[in-house]
Amino acid sequence: MTSLPQYNTDRGMLHISEYGRNIQKMVEFAIREQDREKRNKLAMALITLMGNLNPHLRDVADYKHKLWDHLFIISDFKLDVDSPYTKPTAETLKTKPDTMPYPQQKIRFRFYGKNIEKMIEEAANMEEGPLKSGFINLIGSFMKQSCRSWNEEMLSDEEILAHLEMLSGGRIKMTTEGDDIQFNALPLRNNRPQNTSGQNNNRFRNNNNNNNNRNRNGGGGGQNNNNRNNRNNRNFRDNNNRNRGN
């Protein structure tokens, strides 16, 4: 009499599914082993096997420690062996991390970001001099570049100075006439190389098609048309070879 198949729904829960059902059965066998020395040997063999099944863990720092933690988790913390690391507990595994505080500060101009406000605050607390002026010029250049990147709009120097005064709470007051203002945004660049190989190939194909149509229509100069087709075909192959070389 054949036995009925056993489905996964009838089996115990897999604690770590990445290692599979067989590893869990081996761990359960090691738990039932009465001799402690044999249990330690079984545990070392399981660690080696688990490392071979998941070689990507070797890229993790102290991956041996992680394998031992996984071994105890698979055993539901019931395996009593001599581990080179501190044995984890179910309580430490279920402990939730501390909630990270999320900044709730309001940003006056979103396209500038929060860091630019911190930089303006730092510039406002600096002593007057060329260092402060140069720092403000760098901040203003970044503000102009940021606005153009996000809004596709170029602000004038007067508008940038107004924003600087507003964000600094009136502590940075500069004018375009009396102060050395150099707000320079980086130019837009589009240095993508144009691929003209497709255009050249289409030109060669069109010339061949035109010559073939003349031959079908009974036009004169059939031999000349064939010569042109041969030249176009050679140019077509040379062009493809140049493209592959590039």
Residues 111 and 58 placed together within one structural domain of the fold: no
Residues 137 and 82 placed together within one structural domain of the fold: no
Which positions ≥6 away from 129 have C-beta within 8 Å? none
Q: Is residue 216 part of a domain?
A: no
Tell me which of 93, 121, 150 is where a domain ends.
Answer: 93
Residue range(s) defining the domain that contains residue 61: 11-93
Chunked in runs of 10, what are the mean pLDDT values of the chain (246 residues)? Answer: 70 85 92 93 93 83 89 92 90 82 77 85 87 87 84 81 87 77 64 48 56 52 55 60 53
Residues 80 and 123 placed together within one structural domain of the fold: no
Q: Is residue 68 part of a domain?
A: yes
Split into its structural domains, the chain has a count of: 2
Q: Is residue 219 part of a domain?
A: no
- At residue 193, the pLDDT reads 44
Q: Is residue 234 part of a domain?
A: no
- At residue 169, the pLDDT reads 85
- Count of alpha carbons within 13 Å of 177, Cβ hemisphere only? 0
Residues 136 and 83 placed together within one structural domain of the fold: no
- At residue 36, the pLDDT reads 92
Are the beta carbons of 27 and 45 closer than 8 angstroms? Answer: no
Q: Is residue 237 part of a domain?
A: no
- At residue 38, the pLDDT reads 94
